[in-house]
Each structure stands twice: as C-alpha cells, then as structure tokens.
Amino acid sequence: MKKIDSVAAFRALRSGLNGQSVGFVPTMGALHIGHASLIDESVRCSDVTVLSIYINPTQFDNANDLAKYPETLAEDLELAEKLGVDYVFMPTYQQMYPDNFSYQVEETKLSHQLCGAHREGHFTGVLTVVMKLLNIVKPDRAYFGEKDYQQFELIKGMVEALFVDVEIVGCPTVRENDGLAFSSRNLNLNVNERKLAPKLHAALVSGLSDEEVTLELNQLGFVVDYIETISGRRFAAAQLGKVRLIDNVLRGEHEQ
C-alpha cells in the first residue's frame, strides 16, 4: 500500500493505471466496519482500490464539531492495508483548496431539506470536495454508505447532472448488534449515551408515526432535529449529548 499526499503525485500515478479498473472510497478517517464494507466491495469489484482520508473543513457548519472529529490515522492505515487498499490519498487543505473555497458546487433543492435545513452550507462543502476528489482520482466506481442516504442521493445526482464519468455505488448501512448505525462520531458518545443511542433506530422501525417517534425520542433524552418520511424512506437526525446522530430506514420493511 502506498501513501500519497499531493494532487500532482496522485495524477502522475493515475496516468499509469490505464486499463485497470479503479474503485474509490472517500472518507474522513476514523475508519470502522462500515467503511470496511465499502473497501471490501471495491477490492472485490476493482483491479485497484484507492482510499482517501481527508477531514474536510468546508462541510462543517460548527467549528466545535470539526475540532472534536476523531482522528485515528495510524489505526486507519493499518486497517486499510489489511483490507487490501492499494493507494491512500491524504491531501492537505492547501492541496484540495488552492482557491480557498472560492469555487463551490451547490445543489438548490434536496440539499436544503433534512440535514441541509439544519446545517447551513454542509452539502455545498460535501459536493465540492467530492467533485474535486473524483476529478483527481478518476475512478470507475466510487462507494458511499447508505447511512448518509441524503448525501448519497446528492452525490449521485451531481454526477449525473454534470456528466461525470463514474458509477456511484451505494452500500447498505452496517449496524452494531443493537441496531446503532456505525459512525465515526459514535466514538464521542459517553457510556450512558452509547446505551441510549440504539433507541433511535428502534423508534424508526416501529409502527409509530413521525410525530410519535419525535415525541418518544425527545422524552428519552434526544434532541430531535427532524423525523421525516420522504418517498417511503424515514430519515432522522437527533442530538445526543454533544453527538449528532443520523439514520434512515425504509418504511414498512422492518416495522413491528
């Protein structure tokens, strides 16, 4: 496994991979089993797998959230090599934003709903960095987890709208045994919050209405941003202590 920290170096390497299929898994590090499932899928389907590790500041609407985002680089690199990653791209802000974020990719509809309604500018930062990464890596396929389903839909829509020659592959949410969706931010939950966190998924798959789920979660100690069902999928975001949890489920599939 090779580590690359400059755009120029990666582009030079990429030009030598012609004829080989390239899979790409973009991450902000703090890798967990959910990321591992994306990497496994890329390794299975591609000749070459590229992993990026870059904590993207432009997608954080809260400076404190950025400051406490977990960094586990040594463990991340060890896991990546174990899983069969060929190249790890680890750029700096200066490498990714030579324009200092003057040029941005913005979507005007879906990005202003759900998480977008509560995190101003978040998806503009996400779409901009993903577009940059896709243009640098030039993968045949890029893999994203469906836990961030709104993000997945926005990235897929961006690629289609702007004629980017890449297949965006969504992979199912990976969960703990108690139902909590794996997330890098779970590392910031204290012991009591971690015990309570699975109640979010349990409420989502119940037969309760969105309004009833909101009431139940608030009574349990969550601070709910939204519970909303769109096109048969129920989306949720709720604060637990200092950690913002998101999740989504298809309605009717698991309801009790």
216, two tokens: 């139940």
Is 254 part of the annotated catalytic residue set? no
Cβ-count burial of 145 within 10 angstroms (0-12 exposed, 13-18 middle, 19+ buried)? buried
Please enumerate in sequence order all residues whose Cβ is within 8 A of that of 224, keeping only pairs 6 or more positions apart, or say none: 214, 217, 218, 236, 237, 238, 239
- DSSP at 102: -
Q: Which amino acid is located at 221 in the chain?
A: G
Distance CA 157, CA 161 (A): 6
DSSP secondary structure, 208-232, as one string: --HHHHHHHHHHHT-EEEEEEEETT
Contact 248, 148 (CB under 8 A): no
- The SS3 call for residue 106 is coil
Distance CA 232, CA 87 (A): 38
Give the residue from 33, 42, 21, 20 showing the smallest Cα distance to 170. Answer: 42
Catalytic residue among 32, 35, 122, 201: 35
Contact 160, 166 (CB under 8 A): no
Which residues are the active-site residues? 35
